[in-house]
Amino acid sequence: MTELDYLLTAIMTQEDVRTALSDVRRRIKENPQEQAACAGEAFVARILVLLEHADAKTRKNAALLLGDIAAQLNQQQQQQVTEALWNAYEKDTVKFVSASYMKAMASYDCSSYLPGLKELLHQLQTLECAPEDVKHVRELRRQVTAILSEQEVRPAYAFGGIRRSHMLLLTAEPYIREALLQQVIRAGKSDARIVSRGVCVTTDSLDFLDAIRLYRDVWFVVRFAKGQVADAQHLAEAISQSELLPLLQEIYGRQEAYPFCLRSREADSKSLKRLAYQVEEASGHRLRNCTTKEHIAELLVEPKKNGDYRIYLKCADYEDKRFLYRKSYLPTSMSPVTAAQMVELVRPYLKEQAHIIDPFCGVGTLLIERNRVLRARDTYGVDSFGEAIAKARANTSASGMEFYYINRDYFDFTSSYLLEEVITECPRMEHKSREEVDQFYHLFFDKTEQICASGAVVILLSTEENALKKHLRLHPVFALERQIPMRGQEQIYIVRKRG
C-alpha cells in the first residue's frame, strides 16, 4: 500500500482525519498526477460529509481539498460539490474557516451563485467587525472578490489619457538622466527637472512621450490633499483622499471601482498586504485590491527620509508606442530602451552615411536605434543564430528601414570594402573561462582590424573590462578614446582604428 492509499483509507475509516487531509493536500500538490486518486465517488462523498465535522480545522482542510481536486471531477460531481461548499459556508460560524469555502469554490463554476456572492461582498464591505475578526473578514472578502472577478464580465477600462495638469516621473538610470532631461526640454517641457529616480515633468498631455526614448517607465506622481499627513499611520487615508481617484476617473471614466495592486521595494509582503486592505476600506471600496493579473492601477509606495511616503501610479494598459517595430525578440535581446540610451551616449562618435556593422546583431534593435539618430549608408547585421536573424529582418521591416542581415559567424564575415563603424553589444561571458574570454577578444580585434578602414570607430558595450583593455594593448592599431559607464559592470568603449 502506498502512502497515498494509506492516507485515503484513513480518511474513509477514521474519525480524527485532520492531519490525513493535510497530508493528502501536500502530496497532490507535490505530485499533481495523484489528484485522480481522490476523485472517486465514495471518497468525494466522504469529504462532503467532513464539511460538517465538529472540528473546524477538519472542515477547513476538507473544503480546501475539494478545491484542489476540482479539475478531476465530472460535471455532476462539480455541481454537487459547489452546492455543498456554499451550504457549508452559510452554516459555519467559525471565522477562520469561512474563506476556505470561498477559496475552494473559486475552482468551480459559480455562475448560479453570483447574486448571492455579490450580496455577500456588499455585506463584507459595509460590515463593522471586532478588531480580532478584521484579518478573517478581509481574507473572506478577498476570496469572494476573486470569484466575482473571474466569473463576471470585467468592466471596460480603456486608457483615455489626461486633460488636466499632472506630474510625471520618467524613470531612468543616473548615467542617462541629464540626456533624458535635455530630450524632455526639447519636447517643450521647460519645467522638467532631475530627481532621485529619473526626471519629473508637469504636463496636461502624454503625447510628447512618444518622442522621448530614454526613460524606462512612466509613473504619475500622486499628489496628496493639502495638509494631509502621509506617514505610516495615516497613509491609507492619505491615498484615498489624494488625487488618485480623480486621476483614475479622468483616465478611465467613471467606474464603480478601480482594481489596483501595491508595490514597494522596502516594505515586507505582510505590511503591504495590510496597507492594501486599508486603502480599499478607506476609499469606500472604490479602490479594489486585487491580484496583479487584474489590476489597472499599480501603486508604488516609496518612503521619504522624514517618515512620510510618496505614491506613484502606473497604468497597466498605457500603450508605450516608442518601440512598436520590435515585435520579435529573444530572452537575451538588448532592450529597446538600453539600445536608445547607448546610441544617445555615443551620438558624437556617429557619422552620417557611414558603412556600419553590428557583429552580434541579435534581433536588430541596436542597429535600428542607431539609424533613427543618424542614417548610415550601408548597414550590416551579422549573427550566427538563425532565429535571431529572422527576427531582425522582421523588426527592421516594421521600422521601415532596410539593412543587410547575414546569418554567419562574425569571424567568417567578409566585405568587398572597408567599414567605417562597428557598433555592438559583446556577448555575455560570465560563465566562460578566462581563456575563452581572452580568445574571443583576441579574435574580435583581429577580425575588426581586417574589415575596418583607417579612422574607423568601434563602439562596444561590454562587461569584460580587463580582457578588452588587455587585447587593445596587444592590438596597437586600436586606441581607446573614451569609456562610458552604464549599469553595473556594463561599460561603453569608444575605440578608434589609427590611420
pLDDT at 152 over 70: no
Q: For Cα atoms 30, 107, 10, give the angle at the middle one, nearest 5 degrees.
A: 50
pLDDT at 275 over 90: yes
**Span 30-57, pLDDT tens digits:** 999 999 999 999 999 999 999 999 999 9
Least confident of 101-105, 134-138, 153-157: 153-157
Going by C-alpha positions, the residue among 421, 387, 429 that lies closest to residue 405 is: 387
**Span 352-391, pLDDT tens digits:** 999 999 999 999 999 999 999 999 999 999 999 999 999 9
Question: To the nearest whole percent, how much of the chain has pLDDT over 70?
Answer: 99
Place of cell 505590511: 271
**What does the pLDDT read at residue 337?**
97
Residue 292 — pLDDT band, cuts 50, 70, 90?
Answer: low
Q: Under CATH, which number does the domain 336-497 receive?
A: 3.40.50.150
| Mean pLDDT calculated for residue range 25-32 | 91
pLDDT at 293 over 80: no
pLDDT at 268 over 90: no
**Span 303-330, pLDDT tens digits:** 999 999 999 999 988 999 999 999 999 9
**Span 432-479, pLDDT tens digits:** 999 999 999 999 999 999 999 999 999 999 999 999 999 999 999 999
Measured in whole angstroms, how far is the alpha carbon of residue 480 from the centre of its chain?
A: 38
Residue 376 and residue 355: Cα distance in Å, rounded?
6
Residue 269 and residue 267: Cα distance in Å, rounded?
7
Within 8 A by CB and 6+ apart from 439, the residues are: none
Please report which residue ranges of 374-414 form alpha helices under DSSP H.
386-399
Place of cell 556600419: 356
The continuous run of DSSP H or E covering 118 comes out as: helix 114-126
**What does the pLDDT read at residue 121?**
85
**What does the pLDDT read at residue 367?**
98
**What does the pLDDT read at residue 149?**
78
DSSP letter for 229, please: -
**Span 9-19, pLDDT tens digits:** 989 999 899 99
For the chain, state the CA radius of gyration: 30
Residue 205 and residue 97: Cα distance in Å, rounded?
49
DSSP-based three-state secondary structure for 174: helix
**Span 69-99, pLDDT tens digits:** 999 999 999 999 999 999 999 999 898 999 9
Could you name the CATH architecture of 166-315? Answer: 2-Layer Sandwich (3.30)
